[in-house]
Amino acid sequence: MQLLSCGSGYPVLFIHGIPTSNRLWSPVIERLFGRFTCHAVDLPGLGKTPSVPYGPNHLQSLAENIEELRIQKGIEKWHVVGHDAGSVIAVHYAYLFQQRVDCLALLSPALFPELRPYYLFELMRQPLLGELLAPLVNLIFWNVAMRRAFENKEEDLVRALDDFHSPFAGFFGAWRLMRLLRWGKPSEVLAAVPDFLPQLTVPTLIFHGSRDPAIPETFARRASALIPNSEFIAVDSGHFIPLNRPEFVASALLRFFDEHCREFPIEHNRIDEIRRAHAAHRD
């Protein structure tokens, strides 16, 4: 997996969902890199990471790959933050390597076997119909659905959308997206998650967008009820919280890490300093 690293300080790992890339986290990282070493992965088949065959233990394999990255970087422990399907990978990693995780944050968590794929994705998952409709669905998804999902129309977000779309551009791009979306049935892939969530003991912060059309709020509240040391935050946002509300997310993470990791305290009066560093970085 490709890994983007920047900043200095205590390490934080950011895991995006499907079909985005590590660029999902750029607005949040730009507000945190003055205090943390931020690591953001590109998952297989997304961003700049080549696709790999999907197997029945794919989530465990991804968690093990992340652990290999931690070892390669010489990191003892880190905070782990996941969005959408990245939340599933994050909880698998925290469950398998709990001693390596200080704090866990889950945004728009797609964690439960009752998950219903986004309706456009569901069309692509259908045999034969998916092959026929893939070019049309691909076009509608990137040019209509994703653009509407971005509540902020800044130039940075347009570049992020281009980055998300790049693995699925070109003549065969629609079928590459189709193959990615056809991996696994939520009822099977996520079947074990409700059973191991109560075994996660790391402090966990769970965000959910109040206008999220993809993930029901009940998922976030259920996760908060199952994970013992967890906190729920409702956000005035759609599905892509890191892009739509990066200032809110960064401030909430700062506060949460400060409260639960006393060994590495974050001075709240440094938030303005971090924001100034962010502004200078953008210039």
Between 50 and 261, the higher pLDDT residue:
50
Q: In what order do the strands lie in the sheet with 101-107?
A: 2-7, 36-42, 10-15, 78-83, 101-107, 204-209, 230-235
**208 is a domain residue:** yes
C-alpha–C-alpha distance, residues 178 and 126, integer Å: 9
User: Averaged over 64-85, what is the pLDDT?
Assistant: 96
Determine the angle formed by the axes of helices 85-96 and 58-73, rounding to 10 degrees.
70
| pLDDT score for 232 | 97
Q: Rounded to 5 degrees, what angle do the CA atoms 98, 226, 68 make?
A: 20
At residue 276 the predicted structure's pLDDT band, cuts being 50, 70 and 90, is very low
User: For residue 240, is it within any domain?
Assistant: yes
Q: Is the pLDDT of residue 180 over 50?
A: yes
Does the pTM surpass 0.85? The reply is: yes
Instruction: Quote the domain boundaries for residue 48.
Output: 2-116+186-282
Over the stretch 182-197, which tens digit does the pLDDT of each residue have? 888 899 999 999 999 9
Write out the two tokens for 241: 């919280």
Residue with more model confidence, 266 or 252: 252
Asked whether residue 198 is assigned to any structural domain, the reply reads yes
**If you write DSSP's letter for every residue of 183-207 in order, what string do you get?**
S--HHHHTTTHHHHGGG--S-EEEE
Task: Flag whether 39 is in a domain.
Answer: yes
User: What mean pLDDT value characterizes the chain?
Assistant: 89
Tracing tokens 């607005």 back to the chain, one arrives at 27
Q: Which pLDDT does position 235 carry in this prediction?
A: 96
For residue 148, being part of any structural domain is answered with no
CA distance 235 to 27: 16
Sign (positive/negative) of CA torsion 219, 154, 8, 249?
Answer: negative
Does any domain span residue 58? yes
C-beta atoms surrounding 225 within 10 Å: 12
Alpha-carbon distance 118 to 56, whole Å?
Answer: 22
Higher pLDDT, 68 or 267: 68
pLDDT confidence band for 117 (50 / 70 / 90): confident
Does the pLDDT value for residue 55 go beyond 90? no
Radius of gyration of the chain (CA): 18
- What percentage of the chain has pLDDT greater than the value 90? 73
- Phi, psi values for residue 168, rounded to 5°: -120, 20
Largest CA distance in the chain: 57
Distances (CA, A) of 249 to 49, 172, 245: 26, 36, 6
Q: Which CATH number characterizes residue 6's domain? A: 3.40.50.1820
pLDDT at 68 over 80: yes
| CA dihedral sign of residues 40, 83, 93, 191 | negative
Can you tell me the distance from the alpha carbon of 89 to that of 208, in angstroms, rounded to the nearest whole number? 17
Tally the domains of the chain: 1
Q: What is the pLDDT confidence band of residue 271, given thresholds at 50, 70 and 90?
A: very low
- Average pLDDT score over residue span 214-236: 96
Residue 164 forms part of a structural domain: no
DSSP alpha helices (H): ranges in the chain?
26-32, 58-73, 85-96, 119-125, 129-140, 146-149, 155-165, 173-181, 186-189, 193-196, 217-226, 241-244, 246-260, 271-282
pLDDT band at 1 (very low <50, low <70, confident <90, very high): confident
Which pLDDT band, with edges at 50, 70 and 90, does 152 fall under?
A: low
Band of the pLDDT at 53, cuts 50, 70, 90?
confident
In a domain, 277, yes or no: yes
23-38: average pLDDT: 94
